[in-house]
Amino acid sequence: MDRKIPATMATQHPDNAKEVYFLGKKFVNTLDEIEECQRMFEELKCTEYMWDWEGKFVDEAVVEKLFQRHYEFFKQTSLGKDVFLTFRVPNIDEESGYRLARAFMAILTADDVAHELGLHNPPIFEVILPMTKSADQLLNIKKTFHEVEEFKRKAFKTERDETQEFNVIPLFEGCEHLLNVDRVLSEYIEGCKYLFGKKPAYLRPFMARSDPALNAGLFPAVLASKVALQKFGEITEKYDVPTYPIIGPGCLPFRGGVNPATIEDTIKEYSGIRTITIQSAFRYDYPMEQVKEAIQLIESTLPTMQFTPLSPNEVTDIEWVIDRFGSHYQNTVEGIAEIVNKIAKKAPGRRERMQHIGLFGYSRGIGKVSLPRAIKFTGSLYSLGVPPEFIGTGRGLRDAMQEGKLQTIEKHYLNLRADLIHAGKYLNKENLSELAKQFSAFKAIEEDVQEVENYLGVELGPLKTKHKIHRNLVSSIFLHAMEDEDFTPELEEAAEIRKSLG
């Protein structure tokens, strides 16, 4: 490997509760993201920044503007060598293809700009493909990029005729997809050999963390990633292609539990990962020095950490967990979608996202119901005092004890106890009791909470003053919501206390 693998990837996930430190406001518009990108490199020392084209508006001149405004910085710190800008491109199976074409042209013209300025080139040579389900999707992206590259060369009489380096990062977004990463990557490597005459020099498979939880619950999301890590290692051994896995956790346990306050413990959960996303709440909802120290800890520690292998029996146990815990979770979520969507409509936006309708995007769903995306889903339930970490979990743990699966769960979910206790600080049992009277699915969550308390041997609820204030705020949110009154101020204040919108 002759390239640096970044350990921290700053992203545009819109989960910050507080103001962005260099803007003095909570909302980051498209024009602000150029400055954000450069500050993440220079001030926070993140080594990668995700430029997100998926379902949101984007500044297509990002590289030109970065070089124009910060030329001296990029003379010293090479984009594409020392720090990295990685596009998350639209998946044309889910979004219209014209935005992909614009992303490709932005990458190709950025290479020309860097060359003309005498800077390292190409500055961008990797893209992330969301919702990867098959090797054909990855191969089509790679093939189409080189076709666009050839068209550009001919149409615009480009003097430079070398083929640009181009890699595709598959982003796997569901538990079922995480369990099948070996099939997709094997077919991709074989496809590269057939279509391009060589296998990839390396792979950076990307595991979503929020969407597996949104689709199947907390425990399936955590443990599916461990199976995927095992399979990445098998691919490396089989094909002699190094794999450098990425994972995308948020700050709250349901979305990954990676934040500056807990990083020394939570980083152990991600042994074997080579890149972790540093989302907006991580960067903007904690004290600056704590954020910088956490990023440096990740950069120095993550590359040295080794994955704990799974035995065949443990893989079977985890597949059981995904099925059993996931069934409890999914059946319950269908019954709470109405109130979750009601709260989510009041959750503030933080980025210029497109509406998830028609040509401009897609919605998420479980069974027969549509749900908000993971940040607003998580934030809505925390705003009701019913953290989603508990949905299906208590019943799943009870079943696991009965079926003899608990040892595998406890061995490979290292932060199990800490995550549940952390979420429990934001539990409002009065709200949950009232919701259970109106929605039968919340009665099942009451059962989950009781079973989790039995397992932990502690009573869940607020511990410190800030947790009690949060409890009072979400009581107000619930009462206002039942009367169809505005609760936005309380929702925002509660999010600031827990240091994440969702």
- Could you tell me the two tokens for 260? 């500056």
Can you tell me which residue has the tokens 């700053």?
Answer: 10
pLDDT at 358: 31
Residue 475 lies in a domain: yes
- Cβ atoms of 439 and 340 closer than 8 Å: no
With beta carbons less than 8 A apart as the criterion, state whether 383 and 497 touch. Answer: no
Give the ranges where 260-392 is alpha helix by DSSP (H).
263-266, 280-284, 288-301, 312-344, 374-383
Give pLDDT, residue 153: 84
Q: Which residues, other chains included, contact 194 with Cβ-Cβ below 8 Å and sequence gap of 6+? A: none
Pair 232, 320 in one domain: no
pLDDT tens figures, 231-278: 999 999 999 999 999 999 999 999 999 999 999 999 999 999 999 999
Q: What CA–CA distances, in Å, run from 443 to 187, 261, 278, 343?
A: 45, 33, 35, 19
Query: Considering the domain boundaries, does residue 402 fall inside one?
Result: yes
Distance CA 212, CA 175 (A): 5
Q: What is the pLDDT of residue 370?
A: 85
Q: Look over the chain and give the mean of its residue pLDDT values, rounded to a whole number.
A: 94
Residues 298, 392: one domain? no
Same domain membership, residue 52 and residue 22:
yes
- With a cut of 80, say whether residue 484 has pLDDT above it: yes
Distance CA 332, CA 378 (A): 15
Cis peptide before 122 (omega within 30 of 0): yes
Per the structure, the count of domains in the chain is: 2
What is the reported pLDDT for 54?
83
**Which pLDDT belongs to residue 155?**
84
- Whether 419 is in a domain gets the answer yes
Residue 502's Cβ-side half-sphere holds a number of Cα atoms within 13 Å equal to 30
Confidence of residue 357 (pLDDT cuts 50, 70, 90): very low
Quick one: pLDDT at residue 369? 77
292 and 319 housed in the same domain: no
Residues 30 and 107 in one domain: yes
Q: Measured between alpha carbons, how far is 224 from 174 in angstroms, rounded to an integer? A: 9
Give the model's pLDDT for residue 91.
87
- Please tell me whether residues 295 and 396 are part of one structural domain: no
Same-domain status, 326 and 181? no
Confidence of residue 361 (pLDDT cuts 50, 70, 90): very low
Residue 250 lies in a domain: yes
In a domain, 416, yes or no: yes
Q: Is 1 part of any domain?
A: no
* Residues 146-177 pLDDT 10s: 998 888 888 887 666 667 789 999 999 999 99
pLDDT tens for each residue of 193-237: 999 999 999 999 999 999 999 999 999 999 999 999 999 999 999
Residue finishing a domain among 275, 304, 333: 304
Q: Does 85 fall in a domain?
A: yes
Residues 397 and 263 in one domain: no
Query: In this structure, are 233 and 325 located in the same domain?
Result: no
Model pTM score = 0.96
* Pairwise CA distance, residues 142 & 441, whole Å: 45
CATH number at residue 73: 3.20.20.60
Q: Tokens 């959960």, residue?
A: 269
Give the tens place of pLDDT for each residue, 283-331.
999 999 999 999 999 999 999 999 999 999 999 999 999 999 999 999 9
The whole domain housing 378 covers 312-498
**218 and 257 Cβ atoms separated by less than 8 Å:** no
168, 105: one domain:
yes
The domain boundary, picked from 277, 304, 331, lies at: 304
Q: For residue 3, is it within any domain?
A: no
Query: What's residue 362's pLDDT?
Result: 40
- Tell me the per-residue pLDDT of 77-109, one tens digit each, with 9 for 90 and over: 999 999 999 999 998 877 666 789 899 999 999
- Report whether 430 contacts 475 (CB < 8 A): yes
Same domain, 114 and 164: yes
Q: Are residues 258 and 388 in the same domain?
A: no
Res. 366: pLDDT tops 70: no
Task: Write out pLDDT tens, residues 283-296.
Answer: 999 999 999 999 99
Last residue of a domain, one of 248, 274, 304: 304
Residues of the chain by 3-state class (helix, strand, coil), percent to 5? 55, 10, 35
In the prediction, which pLDDT does 164 show?
A: 79
Whether residue 377 is predicted with pLDDT greater than 60 in this model: the reply is yes
Q: Answer yes or no: is pLDDT of 489 > 80.
A: yes
Q: Give me the sign of the Cα torsion angle 456, 228, 124, 350.
A: negative
CA distance 181 to 174: 11
What integer is the mean pLDDT of 477-497? 97
Residue 365 has what pLDDT?
A: 62
pLDDT in tens, 409-462: 999 999 999 999 999 999 999 999 999 999 999 999 999 999 999 999 999 999
| Dist. CA 389–CA 424, nearest whole Å | 9
What is the pLDDT at residue 35? 97
Side-chain-side CA neighbours of 304 within 13 Å: the count stands at: 5
- Average pLDDT of the residues in 113-142: 96
Q: Which two tokens stand for residue 295?
A: 């990023």
The pLDDT value given to residue 96: 65
